[in-house]
Amino acid sequence: MTRPAKYGKSEVYKLGTILQILTMIVVLIGMEKLVMLIDNNSSIPSWVSTFLTGLFFAVLSIRSRMFSLLDNTRSRQTYDQVIRPRWSPPPLAFPIVWMIIAVLRVVSSVLVWQQMNRQFLVLPLILFVVHLALGDTWNTIFTVERRLGTAVPVVILGPWLSAVVVTAIYWQTNPVAGMILSLSCIWLTVASVLVFRIWQLNGSEPLYPLKLTSVKK
């Protein structure tokens, strides 16, 4: 007798992503209150709140995964072990590129924050944390769980598409911020194509392999 296959992995991803987004929104609210207190204190130089905001966006850009309940361990193991196209970047290139992207995110986000009257709980920055959360969930799927099939639609509908949306919103808010952040879209486009080719070269498992194996008894 075969029990019906159970579904649940996609729900775990969705719940983990939603909770991470909500947590980071709460953090945005906390930062807004902190900056407001600093700005209202005449004894504190005005540059202090800008410095703290830049530092906050730096931590958020580099360590957003600390707000996730999913396993977001950063590792080269999956990338080193899978078959890759000849044009794929060497593993050493990834931390360098992501650090550059982190700087782009910090600078563009600070510019948006300034343009939005130094507020954090605004649509562009909320969409920014959504983008970060989607990227962390993709990392869980690809790097940690090595679900190469699921990683393809997720990287396109998650990190890549959200990066395009955030860039567009940043551009509308502050054109300079949008231009700065648009550089990250180039890398994410390359990364999306790379994920697709890795999927093709490694067996082309189903693009939505979230169904757990049926259990016989």
Is residue 203 very low, low, confident or very high in pLDDT (cuts 50, 70, 90)?
Answer: confident
- CA torsion, points 13, 80, 163, 189, in degrees to nearest 10? -130
Per residue in 15-73, pLDDT (tens digit) is: 999 999 999 999 999 999 999 999 999 889 989 999 999 999 999 999 999 999 988 88
Is residue 204 very low, low, confident or very high in pLDDT (cuts 50, 70, 90)?
Answer: confident
Tell me what pLDDT residue 214 has: 38
As a whole-number percent, the residues of the chain with pLDDT over 90 amount to: 65
Q: Is the pLDDT of residue 215 over 60?
A: no
- Residue of 108, 116, 113 whose CA lies nearest to 171: 108
Tell me what pLDDT residue 80 has: 85
Can you tell me whether residue 52 is helix, strand or coil? helix
Sign of the CA dihedral running 46, 50, 53, 59: negative
CA of 156: how far to CAs of 15, 73, 110, 123, 132, in Å? 19, 21, 26, 22, 14
- Residue of 156, 134, 133, 130 whose CA lies nearest to 208: 156
Q: Distance between CA atoms of 143 and 76, rounded to whole angstroms?
A: 8
Residue 204: beta bridge partners?
Answer: none
pTM assigned to the model: 0.88
Per residue in 113-148, pLDDT (tens digit) is: 999 999 999 999 999 999 999 999 999 998 888 888
